Amino acid sequence: MLRVAVLLSGRGSNLQALIDACGAPDFPAEIIHVISNNPDAVGLLRAQDAGIGTSVLNHREYETREAFDTEVTRVLEDANAELVCLAGFMRILTEGFVSHWTDRLLNIHPSLLPSFKGLDAQQQALDAGVKLAGCSVHFVRPGVDEGPIIAQAAVPVLDDDDAKALSARILALEHRLYPRVVRLIAEGRVTVVDERVTISDSQAPTGALSNPSRD
Protein backbone atom coordinates (compact mmCIF):
# COMPACT_ATOMS: atom_id res chain seq x y z
CA MET A 1 0.00 0.00 0.00
CA LEU A 2 1.38 3.37 -1.02
CA ARG A 3 1.44 5.73 1.98
CA VAL A 4 -0.14 9.04 0.94
CA ALA A 5 -0.23 12.32 2.85
CA VAL A 6 -2.45 15.26 1.89
CA LEU A 7 -1.79 18.99 2.37
CA LEU A 8 -4.81 21.28 2.34
CA SER A 9 -6.06 24.67 3.42
CA GLY A 10 -9.83 24.54 2.91
CA ARG A 11 -12.86 22.34 2.52
CA GLY A 12 -11.01 19.26 1.35
CA SER A 13 -13.35 17.99 -1.34
CA ASN A 14 -10.45 16.40 -3.22
CA LEU A 15 -9.31 14.86 0.04
CA GLN A 16 -12.77 13.33 0.37
CA ALA A 17 -12.51 11.92 -3.14
CA LEU A 18 -9.21 10.30 -2.20
CA ILE A 19 -10.63 8.98 1.07
CA ASP A 20 -13.55 7.44 -0.80
CA ALA A 21 -11.22 5.85 -3.36
CA CYS A 22 -8.95 4.44 -0.68
CA GLY A 23 -11.99 2.80 0.89
CA ALA A 24 -12.22 0.35 -2.01
CA PRO A 25 -10.64 -3.00 -1.11
CA ASP A 26 -8.59 -3.11 -4.31
CA PHE A 27 -7.22 0.44 -4.10
CA PRO A 28 -3.41 0.24 -3.75
CA ALA A 29 -2.91 3.31 -1.53
CA GLU A 30 -3.90 4.61 1.89
CA ILE A 31 -4.03 8.12 3.35
CA ILE A 32 -1.89 8.13 6.45
CA HIS A 33 -1.84 11.82 7.44
CA VAL A 34 -3.38 15.20 6.60
CA ILE A 35 -1.67 18.54 7.25
CA SER A 36 -3.31 21.95 7.10
CA ASN A 37 -1.91 25.43 7.56
CA ASN A 38 -5.44 26.59 8.44
CA PRO A 39 -6.75 25.44 11.83
CA ASP A 40 -10.34 26.03 10.65
CA ALA A 41 -10.06 23.97 7.48
CA VAL A 42 -13.11 21.75 6.96
CA GLY A 43 -10.80 19.19 5.41
CA LEU A 44 -9.39 18.44 8.87
CA LEU A 45 -12.84 17.31 9.98
CA ARG A 46 -13.15 15.07 6.91
CA ALA A 47 -9.86 13.42 7.82
CA GLN A 48 -10.79 13.00 11.47
CA ASP A 49 -14.16 11.50 10.53
CA ALA A 50 -12.25 8.94 8.45
CA GLY A 51 -9.90 8.11 11.30
CA ILE A 52 -6.90 9.76 9.65
CA GLY A 53 -4.30 11.54 11.74
CA THR A 54 -4.05 15.30 11.29
CA SER A 55 -1.61 18.10 12.03
CA VAL A 56 -2.18 21.85 12.03
CA LEU A 57 0.90 23.87 11.16
CA ASN A 58 -0.14 27.51 11.14
CA HIS A 59 2.24 29.25 8.76
CA ARG A 60 1.80 32.51 10.68
CA GLU A 61 3.72 30.98 13.59
CA TYR A 62 6.90 30.52 11.53
CA GLU A 63 9.37 33.30 10.83
CA THR A 64 10.19 32.15 7.29
CA ARG A 65 8.74 29.99 4.54
CA GLU A 66 11.78 27.76 4.88
CA ALA A 67 11.11 27.17 8.58
CA PHE A 68 7.48 26.28 7.85
CA ASP A 69 8.38 23.93 5.02
CA THR A 70 11.04 22.24 7.15
CA GLU A 71 8.42 21.46 9.78
CA VAL A 72 6.02 20.14 7.14
CA THR A 73 8.74 17.80 5.89
CA ARG A 74 9.46 16.63 9.45
CA VAL A 75 5.80 15.73 10.01
CA LEU A 76 5.58 13.99 6.64
CA GLU A 77 8.69 11.95 7.25
CA ASP A 78 7.60 11.05 10.79
CA ALA A 79 4.42 9.67 9.18
CA ASN A 80 6.53 7.73 6.63
CA ALA A 81 4.74 9.41 3.74
CA GLU A 82 5.75 8.12 0.32
CA LEU A 83 3.58 10.43 -1.80
CA VAL A 84 2.30 13.92 -0.97
CA CYS A 85 -0.87 15.29 -2.57
CA LEU A 86 -1.63 19.00 -2.57
CA ALA A 87 -5.39 19.49 -2.39
CA GLY A 88 -6.17 23.19 -2.23
CA PHE A 89 -3.04 23.97 -0.23
CA MET A 90 -2.82 27.74 -0.42
CA ARG A 91 0.88 28.16 0.15
CA ILE A 92 3.72 28.67 -2.29
CA LEU A 93 6.26 26.00 -1.38
CA THR A 94 9.96 26.74 -1.29
CA GLU A 95 12.33 25.35 -3.87
CA GLY A 96 14.05 23.33 -1.16
CA PHE A 97 10.81 21.60 -0.18
CA VAL A 98 9.86 20.88 -3.77
CA SER A 99 13.32 19.51 -4.55
CA HIS A 100 13.24 17.27 -1.47
CA TRP A 101 9.98 15.71 -2.65
CA THR A 102 10.77 15.59 -6.38
CA ASP A 103 8.45 13.17 -8.20
CA ARG A 104 6.75 12.41 -4.88
CA LEU A 105 4.69 15.63 -4.76
CA LEU A 106 1.46 16.02 -6.73
CA ASN A 107 -0.82 18.95 -7.42
CA ILE A 108 -4.21 19.23 -9.08
CA HIS A 109 -5.03 22.46 -10.88
CA PRO A 110 -8.35 23.54 -12.45
CA SER A 111 -7.07 24.25 -15.94
CA LEU A 112 -5.58 22.44 -18.89
CA LEU A 113 -1.99 23.30 -18.09
CA PRO A 114 0.19 24.97 -19.17
CA SER A 115 -2.66 27.43 -19.77
CA PHE A 116 -4.14 29.53 -16.96
CA LYS A 117 -1.74 29.03 -14.10
CA GLY A 118 -2.28 30.60 -10.70
CA LEU A 119 -5.47 31.80 -9.04
CA ASP A 120 -8.90 32.07 -10.67
CA ALA A 121 -7.99 29.69 -13.48
CA GLN A 122 -11.64 29.15 -14.40
CA GLN A 123 -12.26 32.88 -14.81
CA GLN A 124 -9.04 33.14 -16.81
CA ALA A 125 -10.40 30.48 -19.16
CA LEU A 126 -13.68 32.35 -19.55
CA ASP A 127 -11.90 35.64 -20.16
CA ALA A 128 -9.74 34.00 -22.85
CA GLY A 129 -12.83 32.63 -24.61
CA VAL A 130 -11.63 29.03 -24.77
CA LYS A 131 -14.13 26.36 -25.77
CA LEU A 132 -12.64 23.57 -23.62
CA ALA A 133 -11.51 23.79 -19.99
CA GLY A 134 -10.58 21.20 -17.42
CA CYS A 135 -8.07 20.07 -14.83
CA SER A 136 -4.55 18.70 -14.68
CA VAL A 137 -2.63 16.54 -12.22
CA HIS A 138 1.11 17.10 -12.32
CA PHE A 139 4.30 16.53 -10.41
CA VAL A 140 5.27 19.74 -8.66
CA ARG A 141 8.26 21.83 -9.67
CA PRO A 142 9.43 25.15 -8.16
CA GLY A 143 7.42 27.36 -10.55
CA VAL A 144 3.75 27.99 -9.84
CA ASP A 145 1.62 25.20 -11.37
CA GLU A 146 4.63 23.85 -13.24
CA GLY A 147 5.88 20.31 -13.60
CA PRO A 148 5.42 17.15 -15.66
CA ILE A 149 1.74 16.60 -16.45
CA ILE A 150 0.46 13.14 -15.55
CA ALA A 151 -3.20 13.34 -16.60
CA GLN A 152 -5.83 15.82 -17.75
CA ALA A 153 -9.60 15.88 -18.16
CA ALA A 154 -11.73 18.36 -20.11
CA VAL A 155 -15.25 19.76 -20.24
CA PRO A 156 -16.85 22.10 -22.79
CA VAL A 157 -17.24 25.75 -21.88
CA LEU A 158 -20.89 26.69 -22.30
CA ASP A 159 -22.11 30.00 -23.66
CA ASP A 160 -23.87 30.89 -20.41
CA ASP A 161 -21.08 29.75 -18.09
CA ASP A 162 -19.83 31.87 -15.25
CA ALA A 163 -16.86 31.02 -13.06
CA LYS A 164 -19.05 29.27 -10.47
CA ALA A 165 -20.76 26.98 -12.97
CA LEU A 166 -17.56 26.14 -14.81
CA SER A 167 -15.71 25.52 -11.55
CA ALA A 168 -18.37 23.05 -10.41
CA ARG A 169 -18.09 20.98 -13.58
CA ILE A 170 -14.31 20.99 -13.42
CA LEU A 171 -14.37 20.03 -9.74
CA ALA A 172 -16.43 16.95 -10.57
CA LEU A 173 -13.63 15.94 -12.96
CA GLU A 174 -10.99 16.58 -10.31
CA HIS A 175 -12.71 14.17 -7.94
CA ARG A 176 -12.36 11.41 -10.54
CA LEU A 177 -8.93 12.29 -11.93
CA TYR A 178 -6.93 12.65 -8.70
CA PRO A 179 -7.69 9.15 -7.35
CA ARG A 180 -6.99 7.71 -10.80
CA VAL A 181 -3.53 9.27 -10.83
CA VAL A 182 -2.77 8.08 -7.29
CA ARG A 183 -3.72 4.55 -8.37
CA LEU A 184 -1.41 4.75 -11.40
CA ILE A 185 1.49 5.84 -9.22
CA ALA A 186 0.77 3.22 -6.57
CA GLU A 187 0.76 0.56 -9.27
CA GLY A 188 4.19 1.71 -10.43
CA ARG A 189 2.98 2.69 -13.87
CA VAL A 190 4.14 6.33 -13.91
CA THR A 191 7.64 7.26 -15.06
CA VAL A 192 9.24 10.69 -15.55
CA VAL A 193 11.90 10.94 -18.25
CA ASP A 194 13.29 14.33 -19.32
CA GLU A 195 10.41 16.05 -17.53
CA ARG A 196 7.76 14.15 -19.47
CA VAL A 197 5.49 11.50 -18.01
CA THR A 198 4.88 8.12 -19.55
CA ILE A 199 2.26 5.69 -18.23
CA SER A 200 2.71 2.01 -18.89
CA ASP A 201 -0.18 -0.19 -20.01
CA SER A 202 -2.38 2.79 -20.78
CA GLN A 203 -4.32 3.80 -23.85
CA ALA A 204 -5.42 7.22 -25.04
CA PRO A 205 -9.11 7.64 -25.92
CA THR A 206 -9.92 7.07 -29.56
CA GLY A 207 -12.50 9.84 -29.81
CA ALA A 208 -12.10 13.59 -29.54
CA LEU A 209 -14.04 16.14 -27.52
CA SER A 210 -14.92 19.18 -29.62
CA ASN A 211 -16.98 22.25 -28.87
CA PRO A 212 -19.19 22.96 -30.74
CA SER A 213 -19.85 19.30 -31.38
CA ARG A 214 -21.50 19.81 -34.78
CA ASP A 215 -21.85 22.44 -37.50
What is the chain's length? 215
- Give the distance, in angstroms, between the CA of residue 1 and the centroid of all CA atoms in the same chain: 19
Burial 155-165 (b: 16+ CB within 10 A, else e): bbbeeebeeee
- Bridge pairing between strands 54-56 and 29-36: parallel
Given CA atoms 18, 48, 118, 169 in this order, what sign does their dihedral have? positive
What are the residue ranges of helices labelled H in the chain?
13-22, 42-49, 65-78, 95-100, 121-128, 163-186
**Among 66, 37, 53, residue whose Cα is nearest residue 3:** 53
Question: Annotated catalytic sites, by residue?
Answer: 109
